[in-house]
Structure 1
Amino acid sequence: MRLVLERVRNHVMSPRMPASKLKEIVACLGFDSVEAFGAHIGLEKRTAESWARYGLSRDAGQLLLALLNYRLRLLSAMTDFEKMTQIPLDMFFEDHLLP
């Protein structure tokens, strides 16, 4: 019961991530839109449309920010690797459709 109440509180009372912030994050992750991001991760179209309009719950927003933080750290590490080895990793990631 406690977990159910916590989930309700997170979705109803906690501040949501605004749709504008969500759009910025999915753009930083390399997607043209929230809908494109949703399609890539297998999200139902109506859910992606709802996210694009109303934003995300606090929990989902935190998870997405963690994903963005990971991507930024990965890009930094790739840049450092390329400087030391002269081997470009960005094309490898693009060829394998990695965000």
Structure 2
Amino acid sequence: MTKLFKKAGSNTTASIYLADDKEKLILVPVNREYTISKKPSYYLKKAKANQKPIYLSGLFPTKDPAVFSGDVKHAITGMKQMFTVTFQEAGETLVLEGLS
């Protein structure tokens, strides 16, 4: 599934993206050091309208500077479900692919 989010605002600590159905993604830069080999650059929080945002996933850089990857645990199978986040229009649009 592909879902399009438009930038709704930002401040010094996060950028907020909204979809047409009012689902919200909050993009937060990682501000700490990790001892693991792959370090996330950002992490995503997700919320429906009028709900408190919850952690979704860390975002990891790919070879394409506009594309990041993440993963979540599938609710039924328990397996990792990979997804991608692509930034378009100089970061004004976020395309989320691979999550249902």
Q: Structure 2-normalised TM-score?
A: 0.22
Q: Which has the higher contact order (CA 8 A, sep 6+)?
A: 1
- Name the structure with the higher strand share: 2
Between Structure 1 and Structure 2, the one with more helix by share is: 1
* Normalised TM-score (structure 1): 0.22
